[in-house]
């Protein structure tokens, strides 16, 4: 028999290092006044449950199962053999190689594991098989409980065409559009013209922003049809598409519903999900600043009406688009646990995974609509292994060389499925974690999030901490003036990182100079060595030259105990810290203002990278003499990138549209790269003749790999 803290089905069991740390990551934010989740040990559900997923959502389900006394079985691909969810589960079985089609989507292999481990129930998490009616049917045929709705509801709501018709019949507000399946690109253009541009082309079986394109004219409709159908086939095994009117500048607000098998259904308030890139959510919060009680109730009642119309039983989410006049339109229903469910848990006190398991076992809901509160405010940031300076986030891969979650910050919850040493690969979603903060009001929750982001240590891969921090402190976001177009409107030329004010620039320069001097002083100390200096050093001041961005700044530093007095731009700043240079986090106080910084890297030539206010800044710190001599050093010529095409991200080459000798025009598609199931068209930067092609369809490429050369 497997026991908690051990792993591997059918193999040798050994207690894992860091087990207590892994278990402690689940953090209930607060005990709510109306009620909080109760785990009744006498309420029998299942003895053993298999999680048909990976990463943070698998870990999330395991945590609740442990509280309910349910043994867990993890499945994994060969590259996930040492993943956190594998270590947390009581048993773990490999279901195939890395590609999802051969592992996490491999129904035959998963069914065999269910039989072998005698799991009584399966929680699918989100993505993968979570909304696959065939998987739910196969489980039912073998007497295994699917933790989710029945196959009828999955079929009805999982198909966007059918769900829209059902929503209309249930008197739910819907978006104007074509209610059938679009056959080809020509029909797509005809339908788009009839509806009127702009239109949204989307996968009928889709979700998570995959298989979605906005088209503003005929050409974009044809291109959108091609890419959306390919992405839909790759992600869902179903290339059917639908077209509907695109509502410009809307908010994306969703209602969490919970229903049982006894005809009871509740709406658990809303989640604001308007901050998006490429139709994927980045920042979510509950409740929304935009909804008044009447609109909230109307949306909730329509969501429940739809759930009852399909006899829904489990947790589910009804998504709406809301215009500036608070008119709302049904978008889709996700028949699964939503990625952003933690913010709802924070303001209601409910454990949605527990509720799903209870409902699946046949228990009625324990609460009525009048019981559901809005207690405080919760904000969630999706922390991704992505480079936010490339299209608001292109995937990054690598090993987490250093990783430290900000759990020491009060009212912080981190849902993650990784740890220090974990690999972020090209095969799966690049999410590192979901960072959630809670407060008695929105301002408090946002302040906690700002602090948590500053204290989050992630090394080894690019990440989007800088973008997340800039979003939550932006005046428009703070005021609640947001829409799904927030990112392109606020950053029309792309995200460039935090723009330093003059005061912040001086603070960064003073901190960097103080850090440099503190390190110089430390290097002069020899512990346990009877070395006697020839001449005792009494140096207490330094003249430095600091290069930041396009500027070179003279900085004077003098030491006073553990503090430094730093002169920048003719102004003196007092910098104090414990100067623990071995710590990844450094708390620094500059003229009474506390900042948490991270020194990311440094080298012998004085170059250093410091994370300050969320953004990583590259500086070079030299003594005055070294700065004078550096003027004579030759500079490396920049590479001419107009004649070459490099991959902006790691991924797989889906198609190559040119060959040597072809003439291409500026903006013409050269090839298509797929990364984390999103397809990206690579285009020519100038008009010219193709000199060489260094890739072919099916090749795996890394970031900055050379793809095509022009003459």
| Residues recognised as catalytic | 332
What would the two tokens of residue 106 be?
Answer: 């491999």
What is the C-alpha to C-alpha distance for residues 306 and 220, in angstroms, rounded to an integer? 33
Q: Could you give the 3-state DSSP secondary structure of residue 518?
A: helix
SS3 state at 15: coil
Angle between helices 341-348 and 352-361 (to 10 degrees): 90
Q: Which residues of 517-526 are buried (b: 16+ CB within 10 A; e: fewer)?
A: bbeeeeeeee
- Going by C-alpha positions, the residue among 420, 381, 417, 135 that lies closest to residue 281 is 381
Say how far apart CA 282 and CA 320 lie, in whole Å: 17
Contact 346, 286 (CB under 8 A): yes
CA distance 30 to 540: 49
Nearest to 163 by CA among 270, 307, 271: 307
Q: Is the CB of residue 312 less than 8 Å from the CB of residue 265?
A: yes
Q: How far is CA 38 from the centre of its chain?
A: 29
Single out the residue of 60, 58, 85, 89 nearest to residue 72, CA to CA. 89
Q: Which of 554, 553, 588 is nearest to 574 (CA)?
A: 588
From residue 161, how far is each of 203, 214, 264, 308 by CA, in Å?
10, 18, 26, 18
3-state DSSP helix/strand/coil percent for the chain, to nearest 5? 30, 30, 40
Evaluate whether 431 touches 656 at the Cβ level (below 8 Å): no
Other CB atoms within 10 Å distance of the CB of residue 125: 27
Residue 76 near residue 84, CB atoms below 8 Å: no
Instruction: Please name the helix (run of DSSP H) or strand (run of DSSP E) that holds residue 258, with its range, or none.
Output: strand 251-259
Q: What residues contact 224, with CB distance under 8 A and at least 6 apart?
A: 188, 201, 213, 214, 215
Alpha helices, DSSP H only, in 491-623?
502-523
| Nearest residue to 252 via CA among 322, 330, 184, 157 | 322
Contact (Cβ atoms closer than 8 angstroms) between residue 403 and residue 420: yes
Alpha-carbon distance 588 to 591, whole Å? Answer: 10
Are the CB atoms for 329 and 174 separated by under 8 Å?
yes
| Of 235, 251, 237, the residue nearest 331 (C-alpha) | 251
């Amino acid at each position: 028999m497997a026991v908690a803290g051990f792993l591997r089905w059918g193999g040798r069991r050994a207690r894992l290092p860091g087990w207590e740390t892994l278990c402690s990551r689940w953090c209930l934010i607060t005990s709510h006044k109306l009620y909080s989740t109760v785990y009744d040990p006498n309420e029998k559900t299942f003895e053993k449950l298999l999680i048909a997923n990976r990463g943070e959502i698998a870990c999330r389900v395991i945590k609740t199962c442990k509280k309910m006394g349910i043994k867990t079985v993890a499945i994994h691909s060969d590259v996930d053999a040492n993943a956190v969810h594998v270590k947390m589960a009581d048993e773990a079985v490999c279901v195939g190689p890395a590609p999802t089609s051969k592992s996490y989507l491999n129904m035959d292999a998963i069914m065999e594991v269910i039989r072998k481990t005698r799991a009584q129930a399966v929680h699918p998490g989100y993505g993968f098989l979570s909304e696959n009616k065939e998987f739910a049917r196969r489980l039912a045929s073998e007497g295994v409980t699917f933790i989710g709705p029945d196959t009828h509801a999955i079929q009805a709501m999982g198909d966007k065409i059918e769900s829209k018709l059902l929503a209309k019949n249930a008197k739910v507000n819907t978006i104007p559009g074509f209610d059938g399946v679009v056959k080809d690109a020509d029909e797509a253009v005809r339908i788009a013209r009839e509806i009127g541009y702009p239109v949204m082309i989307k996968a009928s079986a889709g979700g998570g922003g995959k298989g979605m394109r906005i088209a503003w004219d005929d050409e974009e409709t044809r291109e959108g049809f091609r890419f959306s159908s390919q992405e839909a086939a790759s992600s869902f095994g179903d290339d059917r598409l639908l077209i509907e009117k695109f509502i410009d500048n809307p908010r994306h607000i969703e209602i969490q519903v919970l229903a049982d098998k006894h005809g009871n259904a509740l709406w658990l308030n809303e989640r604001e999900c308007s901050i998006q890139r490429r139709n994927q959510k980045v920042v979510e919060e509950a409740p929304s600043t935009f909804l008044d009680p009447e609109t909230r109730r109307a949306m909730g009642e329509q969501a429940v009406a739809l759930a009852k119309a399909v006899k829904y039983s489990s947790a589910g989410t009804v998504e709406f688009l809301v215009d500036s006049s608070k008119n709302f339109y049904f978008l889709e229903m996700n028949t699964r646990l939503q990625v952003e469910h933690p913010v709802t848990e924070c303001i209601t006190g409910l454990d949605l995974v527990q509720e799903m398991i209870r409902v699946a076992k046949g228990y009625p809901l324990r609460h009525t609509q009048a019981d559901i509160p809005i207690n405080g405010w919760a904000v969630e940031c999706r922390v991704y292994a992505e480079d936010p300076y490339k299209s608001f986030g292109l995937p990054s891969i690598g090993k987490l060389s250093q990783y430290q979650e900000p759990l020491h910050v009060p009212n912080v919850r981190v849902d993650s499925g990784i740890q220090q040493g974990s690999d972020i690969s090209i095969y799966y979603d690049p999410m590192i974690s979901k960072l959630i903060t809670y407060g008695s009001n929105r301002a408090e929750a946002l302040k906690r999030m700002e602090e948590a982001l500053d204290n989050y240590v992630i090394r080894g891969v690019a990440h989007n901490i800088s973008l997340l921090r800039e979003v939550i402190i932006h005046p428009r976001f703070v005021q609640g003036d947001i829409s799904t177009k927030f990112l392109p409107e606020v950053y029309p030329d792309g995200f460039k990182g935090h723009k330093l004010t003059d005061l912040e620039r001086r603070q960064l320069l003073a901190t960097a100079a103080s850090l440099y001097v503190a390190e110089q002083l430390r290097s002069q100390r020899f512990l346990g060595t009877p070395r006697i200096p020839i001449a005792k050093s009494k140096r207490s001041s330094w003249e430095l030259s600091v290069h930041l961005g396009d500027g070179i700044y003279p900085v004077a530093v003098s030491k006073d105990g553990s503090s430094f007095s730093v002169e920048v731009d003719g102004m003196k700043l007092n910098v104090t810290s414990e100067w623990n240079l071995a710590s990844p986090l450094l708390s620094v106080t500059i003229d009474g203002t506390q900042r948490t910084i991270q020194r990311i890297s440094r080298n012998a030539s004085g170059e250093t990278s410091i994370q300050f206010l969320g953004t990583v800044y590259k500086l070079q710190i030299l003594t005055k003499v070294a700065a004078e001599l550096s003027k004579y050093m030759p500079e490396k010529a920049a590479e001419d990138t107009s004649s070459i095409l490099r991959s902006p991200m790691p991924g797989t080459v889906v198609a190559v549209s040119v060959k040597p000798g072809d003439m291409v025009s500026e903006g013409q598609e050269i090839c298509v790269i797929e990364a984390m199931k999103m397809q990206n068209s690579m285009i020519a930067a100038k008009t010219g003749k193709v000199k060489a092609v260094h890739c072919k369809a099916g090749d795996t490429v890394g970031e900055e790999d050379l793809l095509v050369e022009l003459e």
